[in-house]
Amino acid sequence: MRSTKLVNSFLINGTLALICLMWTIPTLGLLISSFRDRLDINTSGWWTVFPHKDWVEIQKIIPGPEVDRTQTMTLEGVTATFEEFAQGIEKNGKKYSWIGNRRIGYLEVDEYRWTANTTFTLQNYKQVLSGGEYTAILKDGTKQTSTGDNMSRAFLNSIAVAIPSTVIPITLAAFAAYGFAWMKFPGRKMLFALVVGLLVIPIQIALIPILRDYVALHVNGTFLAVWLAHTGFGLPLATYLLYNYISELPRDIMEAAFVDGASHFTIFSKLVIPLSVPALASFAIFQFLWVWNDYLVALIFIGASPTNQLVTQRLAEIVGSRGQDWHLLTAGAFVTMVLPLIVFFSLQRYFVRGLLAGSVKG
């Protein structure tokens, strides 16, 4: 029995470790790529930052004007045509490759040895966050100038949207959950069932009616429209989760507070809120990540104005306009991930406790 338990434990833990590794490796590659420059990303994989064997440049030969590049050339004891050098020639443990075009190119001599591409830069993040002009030098020596993506404005816009869209529904849901759990009033069970029933309504079917109302009220295209939309869509789940937690708080404490003359608001603010921190933090993580990563609601209610764009909208534009610039795409992706990671790791100790809110009875 003991050996069977050890085998089962090894299989379970090994499977979980493998799943974690499969999720972590792509994320690690994305992080490493965000700190590599354009030339390194286009010529080698992200795993080359670790020690490995590869062709390493040891010499650069620029033929003089006396060398006829349209004919057979002899360079460093190797005789070949331009086309053969362009394809690469291996001889005596070295590789001879022509870089660039026939007129202004050069011959690169490589040797197979242990190496690691440990050149990192913050230029990618500077270009993504600011709107200035940047010049990149390609491998053949040519220069390419491009304009930054100015993602810092979108980052601040996302903060301005995500924080109120998280605080408002949590506040309203906490009051509602306390009322459903500890206050007696007619129709309480029916109203709570209606709130739970709202969980099954898809967000997509409500977007067009809400958009029409926003246009009539002249609030479409503002942050207020997104705050109200995320509050409305987040309230049912928040109320349900907080009700499960608040209803399981010790009844003796509540009755003692009532006996001492405390009002419902005093009990709510002095007892319920401090005791419900795990549930509040758990939903805060859910709501913040949902709002921060939202694209559909922001696109419909804010629009594509550059001054009001959120990080998801700005990143989608970067993907469309810079689909081959992986050094910028990876940096932009991690810009969008920084704040959610901070929020999650700050509140993760409450996460599991909040998820289990109300799941154990008796």
Q: What is the pTM of this model?
A: 0.74
The enclosing domain of 156 has a CATH number of 1.10.3720.10
Same domain as 259, residue 182: yes
**pLDDT band with cut points at 50, 70 and 90 for residue 360:** very low
Assess if residue 184 is contained within a domain. yes
Beta bridge partners of 94: 91, 111
**Within this chain, do residues 240 and 338 fall inside the same structural domain, yes or no?**
yes
Tokens representing 360? 């154990």
Q: How far apart are alpha carbons 220 and 152 in whole angstroms?
A: 23
Residue 316 located in a structural domain: yes
Q: Look up residue 181 and give its amino acid.
A: A
User: pLDDT, tens digit, for every residue of 156-206?
Assistant: 999 999 999 999 999 999 999 999 988 888 888 899 888 888 888 888 888
pLDDT > 70? residue 144? no
**Token pair of 352 as six digits:** 């599991």
Residues 164 and 238 placed together within one structural domain of the fold:
yes
Average model confidence (pLDDT) across the chain: 83
6-40 confidence digits (pLDDT tens): 888 888 889 989 998 888 898 888 889 888 888 78
Whether the predicted pLDDT of 353 surpasses 70: no
Please, are residues 109 and 117 in contact by the beta-carbon 8 Å criterion? no
3 state SS of 250: coil
pLDDT of residue 175: 92
| Number of structural domains the chain divides into | 2
Angstrom distance (rounded) from CA 105 to CA 296: 48
Same domain, 238 and 301: yes
pLDDT confidence of residue 174: 92
The yes-or-no verdict on residue 53 having pLDDT over 80 is: yes
Contact 33, 326 (CB under 8 A): yes
Q: Do residues 273 and 351 share a domain? A: yes
Do the domain assignments include residue 33? no
In this structure, is residue 67 part of a structural domain?
yes
Query: Distance from first CA to last CA of the chain, Å, rounded?
Result: 33
CA 284 to chain CA centroid, nearest Å: 17
CB proximity list for 20: less than 8 A, separation 6 or greater: none
Residues 162 and 111 in one domain: no
Token pair belonging to 56: 């390493």
Nearest to 28 by CA among 358, 334, 237: 334
For the segment 73-88, the average pLDDT, to the nearest whole number, is: 84
Checking if the pLDDT of 73 tops 80, the result is: yes
Both 169 and 243 in a single domain? yes
- 3-state SS assignment for residue 131: coil
Euclidean distance between CA atoms 289 and 185, whole angstroms: 35
Contact 118, 46 (CB under 8 A): no
Shared-domain flag, residues 221 and 78: no
pLDDT given for residue 170 in this prediction: 93
- Give the single-character DSSP code of 146: E
Q: Are residues 91 and 218 in the same domain?
A: no
Is it the case that residue 251 has pLDDT exceeding 50? yes
Instruction: Determine the structural domain holding residue 74 and report its residue range.
Output: 51-115
Contact 252, 322 (CB under 8 A): no
Please name the residue ranges forming H helices in the chain.
2-34, 38-43, 82-87, 123-129, 151-182, 188-197, 204-217, 223-246, 251-259, 264-267, 273-275, 277-292, 296-301, 311-321, 326-355
Least confident of 66-70, 140-144, 323-327: 140-144
Q: Are 182 and 108 found together in one domain?
A: no
Q: What is the mean pLDDT of residues 64-85?
A: 82
Of the candidates 201, 223, 52, 95, which has an alpha carbon nearest to the alpha carbon of residue 154?
Answer: 223
Whether 183 and 272 map to the same domain: the answer is yes
Alpha carbons 167 and 105: distance in angstroms, whole number: 60
- Of 115, 137, 169, the residue that ends a domain is 115
The DSSP secondary-structure symbol of 269 reads I
- Give a yes or no: residue 122 inside a domain: no
Residue 3: inside a domain: no
- Span 116-141, average pLDDT: 73
Which of the residue ranges 54-63, 158-167, 284-293, 346-355 would you say has the lowest mean pLDDT? 346-355
The highest-confidence range among 44-48, 229-233, 281-285, by mean pLDDT, is 229-233
Task: Flag whether pLDDT at 60 surpasses 60.
Answer: yes
In a domain, 38, yes or no: no
What pLDDT digit, counting tens, does each position of 224-244 carry?
999 999 998 889 989 988 888
Cα–Cα distance, 148 to 132 (Å, whole number): 5
Tell me the chain's radius of gyration from C-alpha atoms: 30
User: 327 and 252, same structural domain?
Assistant: yes
Q: Does residue 36 fall inside a structural domain?
A: no
